[in-house]
Structure 1
Amino acid sequence: MSAGDAGPRKPNTNYTAPVGSIDLAAEDEDGTPYAIWPCASCLPWHAEVIRDGDDVLVREWHAVDCEAFQELLTDD
């Protein structure tokens, strides 16, 4: 699931909403990098690339009540 696939943005999910993060793989098993698209459901969405030992991860930040974020958490 891509964060951009979520429904319309909630009117109360703005830049000052509480945020949470999830770390996702930066590439698939074959080494092909994933495309990163902004979340259409929350304004505070942003991403950063981090290194955890030998792993490179994408850390996505979403509003905690963002539907896309909640789906990512349950998929993990």
Structure 2
Amino acid sequence: MTPTTPGHERDHEPVPDSSTLMGLLHVLRKAHMELVGNDAARQRFTQVFTRGDARQYIDELMPHLMKEREKRRQHRHGVGK
């Protein structure tokens, strides 16, 4: 979360290990590993402790993952050849 981003009430709560949110974060980490490698992805993931950290992690990764998704779709459909 940046200093200009308003916080949410639960941002300081820890992410429960057995939560759906933690499951989503692990899926994102796996996708991130494919993009940047295991070490870099794991290093970034270890910084996620709270719901606010999770929000920031998701906001940070999604544009990169969506860009990669679009690139793969275009490649699969022959666009750009």
Q: TM-score, normalised by structure 1?
A: 0.35
Q: TM-score, normalised by structure 2?
A: 0.33
Q: Which has the higher contact order (CA 8 A, sep 6+)?
A: 1
More helix by share: 2
| Bigger Cα Rg | 2
